[in-house]
């Protein structure tokens, strides 16, 4: 387990459950934490929602799932450093 990482595997969930699960996860993020979302496809609609909520994301294509998206608060420098250190 990577420090500050919260894994949210939505690969086998039907729509709209992945969006609901991610919204629940990001709402609970603390300082220095980020969500590592595992998905079977790239969740394009999610990106604008995250942007409106002031979250940034990093797409990672070389992991356990076809698409891994790291989501963290835009102003959370510690989470950003952890994401970039692990996946950047």
The one-digit pLDDT tens for each residue of the chain (88 residues) are 799 999 999 999 999 999 999 999 999 999 999 999 999 999 999 999 999 999 999 999 999 999 999 999 999 999 999 999 999 8
Q: Domain map of the chain by residue range?
A: 5-87
Instruction: Tell me the pTM.
Output: 0.96
- For the sheet containing 34-39, what is the strand order? 5-9, 34-39, 67-73, 55-60
CA distance 11 to 9: 6
Q: Which CATH class is domain 5-87?
A: alpha beta
């Amino acid at each position: 387990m990577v420090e500050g990482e919260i894994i949210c595997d939505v690969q086998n969930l039907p729509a709209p459950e992945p969006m609901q699960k991610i919204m629940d996860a990001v709402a609970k993020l603390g300082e220095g934490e980020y969500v590592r979302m595992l998905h079977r496809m790239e969740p394009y609609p999610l990106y604008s929602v995250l942007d409106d909520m002031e979250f940034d994301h990093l797409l990672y294509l070389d992991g356990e799932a076809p698409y891994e998206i790291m989501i963290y608060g835009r102003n959370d420098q510690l989470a950003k450093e952890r994401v970039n250190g692990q996946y950047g």
